[in-house]
Amino acid sequence: MAASTQSSFNTIRNDILHRHFKPLYLFMGDESYFIDVLTELLSDTVLTETEKDFNMLTFYGVDADVNLIIASARRFPMMAEYQLIIVKEAQNLDNFEQLDLYAKNPMPSTIMAINYKHGTVDKRKAVVKSILKTGEVFESKKLYENQIPAFIQSWLKDKEIAIDEKSAQMLTDFVGNDISKLIPQLQKLEVALPDGQRRINSELIEKNIGISKDYNNFELQKAIISKNIVTANRIVDYFDKNPKDNPMMATIAVLFNYFSSLLECYWLPLKDEQSIMNALNMRSAYFVRDYMVGLRNYSAQKVMEIISDLRTFDARSKGVDNVSASQGDLLKELVYRIMH
């Protein structure tokens, strides 16, 4: 599951930081961010800058020879405890499976990190089985969107910066689960923090990222949940006037995620906060209140109708059975149908 990506990443990261190295690492998967971070951490930790001159080699799969990689891995380090070999773009390496010859009996003084991006190696293959016995295999999966707020909080916590739940959700709604786009936004906010302030809030995000703290998907969702028709209409009208910054597809995705999760809550034997947190795999009780309010304001039958409407309007926003209605008109109609 994607949920294990973060925990596995943290375990390997902590081992590297404490210099508990494995002779072989296979980092593979669709999420490049975690692969790059672990590889860079090995590069920063295994060798000193002086030791790197003679003991660090980087190969690129597109033009590397697997026999040369193996031969290099079998040599001894020079005036250092380890040598470090990094194989980048290993998905383009010819005869990748021949690395099994080395993986069965790796040199204890060599640390090799293999980066296999945009896919995975079949775990049934001998090379993966051998690395599992002697080293570490990490599959870097894309995080689900509902896991991004926790990722944001964790990333900032490492830099001793706090962020409230609303602000983390605002960023999630704005960027989605594309970490390559999210990290630059977090770095921008880090730089923008005033001296002496170590907490990111919605005002800082509005000023530096351009997301309105009052007119965003987070606030629209809260207005819909609480059936605050005036506020919901005001936000929808703002979205209609600023369509570039508030695409309808993003709004539909946010609402679909909420109402799909809300539907699960109706079948729980107990509908208390802890039961909802457990069922929806939530780390914080902050958003549980939204589900408690949703259970009071919407019946299970109505939620199923809303989910059906969201699918219909998603198709209409892409031109299916829609000749002339604008995105703004469609959103106004959708929100009206949800709240009435």
pLDDT single digits (tens) 37-77: 999 999 999 999 999 999 999 999 999 999 999 999 999 99
Which pair of tokens denotes residue 180? 């390559």
Whether residues 74 and 102 share a domain: the answer is yes
Domain boundary among 181, 209, 237: 209
pTM score, two decimals? 0.77
Residues 10 and 91 in one domain: yes
Quote the tokens at residue 142. Answer: 């894309």
Assess contact for 99 and 114: CB atoms under 8 A: yes
DSSP state string for 213-272: SSSSHHHHHHHHHTT-HHHHHHHHHHHHH-TTTS-HHHHHHHHHHHHHHHHHHTT-S--S
Q: Are residues 165 and 126 in the same domain?
A: no
Do 229 and 203 sit in the same domain of this protein? no
Q: Are residues 194 and 78 located together in one domain of the fold?
A: no
State residue 286's pLDDT score: 81
What span, in angstroms and rounded, lies between the C-alpha atoms of 212 and 171? 11
Match 């290099």 to its residue by tokens: 72
End residue of a domain, out of 102, 121, 140: 140
The CATH number covering residue 280 comes to 1.20.272.10
CATH number for the domain that contains residue 186: 1.10.8.60
pLDDT on residue 258: 94
Where residue 186 falls among pLDDT bands split at 50, 70, 90?
very high
Q: What is the pLDDT of residue 6?
A: 66
Question: What's the structural domain count of the chain?
Answer: 3
Q: Which of 265, 260, 235 is nearest to 314 (CA)?
A: 260
Same domain? For 106 and 203 the reply is: no
pLDDT at residue 175 above 90? no
189 lies in the same domain as 235: no
**Residue 272 is part of which domain span?**
217-339
From 167, 190, 209, give the residue that closes a domain: 209
Residue 34 near residue 146, CB atoms below 8 Å: no
One-letter amino acid identity for 246? N
Locus of tokens 């970490």: 179
Instruction: Judge if 150 and 193 occupy the same domain.
Output: yes
pLDDT of residue 7: 65
Q: Share the mean pLDDT of the chain.
A: 92
Mind giving me the DSSP string for 158-227? TTT-EE-HHHHHHHHHHHTT-HHHHHHHHHHHHHHSPTT--EE-HHHHHHHH---SSSSHHHHHHHHHTT
